[in-house]
Amino acid sequence: MKATDTLLERAHAAAAFAKKLGADEARVSVSKSRGVDIEYRDGKLEKVQERSRRGLSIELFVDGRYAAMSTNDLRTEAVERFTADALAMTRLLEPDPFRCLPEPQRYLGRADIDLDAFDPSQARVTGEQRLELAATLEARVRELSADLNVVSITTGVSDDAGSGARIHTNGFEGAREGTHFSRSASVTVKEADGRRPVGSAYTGRRHQADLGSLETIAQDAVARARAQLGAGKLQTGRYTLVVDRRSVPRLLGAFLAPLSGGALQQKRSLWEGKLGARIASKLLTLRDDPHRVRGMGSALWDGDGFATHPRLLLEDGVLCTYLIDDYYARKMGVIPTGGSTHNLAWGLGTKDQAALIADVGEGVFIERFLGGNSNETTGEISVGCAGRIIRGGRLEEPVSEVNLAGHFGQLWEALVAVGNDPDPNSSASSPTCVFEGVQLSGV
């Protein structure tokens, strides 16, 4: 019997109980996961943390009304009592004619692909192995930063295995298992003026064998610390920006958020009425790729149980779809498009980051963002950042305490180049991006 069979059984039992109590329909999710994190600092183990989580959640549809319950107390009598409590709440609420399970035909057409999300080697990872990896990584970071005034080096190693099952009482059933591995390093360096910038790097994958090498992480972390030393301030003005692939999701997230059904139906979306219109530079082509083998965000079904399919979000800057889930589609009286994205695939350029920087000649390289926010109703964005001056096509002195501001629609209109270097450590898979004429504040 597969591990997920027990979870499915539990989900069916919870749904049957809810129906016995009088629920018309129910949606139940059951999950279980176990993982270990270790943190190694300055030559010794700092922290070992084991996580073993489980949970059950049940959504109830009764007489056109809706409530939900979630618990990690899975004793049968406890689950039954909480379900009864939630059911009692449901009966008191005002009706919501749009709350119901999706049309069952939406569940059909599930792709027959092995996403290969589960690496069985996770079960064989020992505490000694984690410790050795973390110690080796720490030692290598220390070696590479020997010429710097290092105050502290921390490395991390973690792995997780999880499984989940979901059923809807009108015919949906799904179960999946997955693993996740990561390695990280950060090095803090002290400067003469007391500032202590940190360089950090990370790799994360579903399969252990796919992880970036320790050498790459060590080099990346040290290079990022080194690059910040002696950071000065930037003159306020408009600049051409080269944004590091690791930081692009911060700008993309603000841009995509107003595509959601919730934002549209609640009339707080900048993108209302823009379907089929060009809302970004012709260089922006984004596809959702839910079936990427070993992909971090891969899934054969989405949050509503809809079978997932690869699809275009933007093509040459033209908006191809909103992200409307079943509930908000009913409220809006439109056909649902699926409320989530999984792994992004970009229309890539042909150049790597160094070549893009050389092409730009004069500008600012944005290495990271800090804080900030955006307004999804109107498009304003204002976010802290730091990076390096680009002069003569090369990275020169670092700058910090910089802020980027503008309108995220106009920002993505001003995209003038896309790299050929999608980030393998994130489901956003962002390449380096170049934007022209962006307002930066400094002194």
Partner 1 sequence: MSTLSEGLEYFARFGVDDVLIRAALSRALSRGGDFAELYFEHRVAHDVGLEDGAVNRAFLHVSLGVGVRVISGDQTGYAYTEDLESTSVCEAAATAAVIAAGAAREVTVAFAVGSRPDRYPVRRAFDEVGLAEKMPILSLIDARARSADARVIKVRVSYADSDGAFLLADSEGRLAFDRQPMARLAVGCTAEQNGRRETNHHNFAGRAGFEFFTARRMEEAADEAVRRTLFLFDATVGPAGEMPVVLAAGSSGILLHEAIGHGMEADFNRKGVSVYSDKLGKVIARPDITIVDDGTRQNCRGAINIDDEGNEGQRTVLVKDGVLETYMHDRISAKHYGVAPTGNGRRESFRDPPLPRMRNTYMMPGPVPPEDIIKSVQRGIYAETFTNGQVMIGAGDFTFYIKTGFLIEDGKLTRPIKDTNIIGNGPQCLERVDLVGNDFAFDEGGWTCGKDGQSVPVSLGMPTVRVSAITVGGVNAE
Put residue 22 in one of left, alpha, beta given phi > 0 → left and psi -120 to 50 → alpha.
Answer: left
Q: How far is residue 295's CA from residue 340's CA, in Å, rounded to a whole number?
A: 15
Q: Give the nearest distance from C-beta 293 to partner 1 in angstroms.
A: 28
Phi/psi for 157 (5° steps) reads -135, 130
Only one residue has tokens 């959640």, namely: 57
Q: Work out whether 10 is an interface residue with partner 1 (CB under 8 A).
A: no
Cβ proximity to partner 1, 78 vs 113, nearer residue: 78
Only one residue has tokens 């160094």, namely: 354
Among 88-96, 155-163, 348-356, 359-367, the segment contacting partner 1 (CB under 8 A): 88-96
Q: Work out whether 94 is an interface residue with partner 1 (CB under 8 A).
A: yes
Q: How far is residue 305's CA from residue 317's CA, in Å, rounded to a whole number?
A: 29
Among 232, 266, 293, 391, the residue binding partner 1 under the rule CB under 8 A is 266
Max Cα–Cα distance, the chain, nearest Å:
73
Q: Work out whether 425 is an interface residue with partner 1 (CB under 8 A).
A: no
Among 169, 285, 403, 432, the residue binding partner 1 under the rule CB under 8 A is 403
Cβ proximity to partner 1, 52 vs 350, nearer residue: 52
| Interface positions, 223-262, toward partner 1 (CB under 8 A) | 228, 231, 233, 236, 238
| Interface positions, 38-77, toward partner 1 (CB under 8 A) | 41, 44-54, 65-74
Spatial CB neighbours of 389, under 8 Å, sequence gap ≥ 6: 234, 364, 365, 395, 396, 397, 398, 399
Q: Work out whether 86 is an interface residue with partner 1 (CB under 8 A).
A: yes
Among 406, 409, 422, 431, the residue binding partner 1 under the rule CB under 8 A is 406
Q: How far is residue 62's CA from residue 66's CA, in Å, rounded to a whole number?
A: 6
| Interface positions, 297-326, toward partner 1 (CB under 8 A) | none
- What is 100-111 written as a DSSP string? SPPPGGGG----
Q: Work out whether 90 is an interface residue with partner 1 (CB under 8 A).
A: yes
| Interface positions, 186-205, toward partner 1 (CB under 8 A) | 188, 190, 194-198
Q: Work out whether 29 is an interface residue with partner 1 (CB under 8 A).
A: no
Task: Count the neighbouring beta carbons within 10 Å of the beta carbon of residue 173.
Answer: 14
Cβ proximity to partner 1, 185 vs 299, nearer residue: 185
Q: Give the nearest distance from C-beta 358 to partner 1 in angstroms.
A: 27
Cβ proximity to partner 1, 108 vs 277, nearer residue: 277
Among 6, 21, 80, 82, the residue binding partner 1 under the rule CB under 8 A is 82
Pairing of strands 237-243, 363-374: parallel
Q: Give the nearest distance from C-beta 178 to partner 1 in angstroms.
A: 19
Spatial CB neighbours of 186, under 8 Å, sequence gap ≥ 6: 153, 154, 155, 198, 199, 200, 201, 221
| Interface positions, 334-393, toward partner 1 (CB under 8 A) | 370-378, 380-384, 386
| Interface positions, 106-135, toward partner 1 (CB under 8 A) | 127
Q: Give the nearest distance from C-beta 64 to partner 1 in angstroms.
A: 9
Q: Work out whether 24 is an interface residue with partner 1 (CB under 8 A).
A: no
- What is 184-222 written as a DSSP string? EEEEEE--TTS---EEEEEEEESSGGGSPPHHHHHHHHH
Rg (CA), the chain: 24
Q: Work out whether 152 is an interface residue with partner 1 (CB under 8 A).
A: yes
Pairing of strands 363-374, 415-418: unpaired
Cβ proximity to partner 1, 153 vs 356, nearer residue: 153
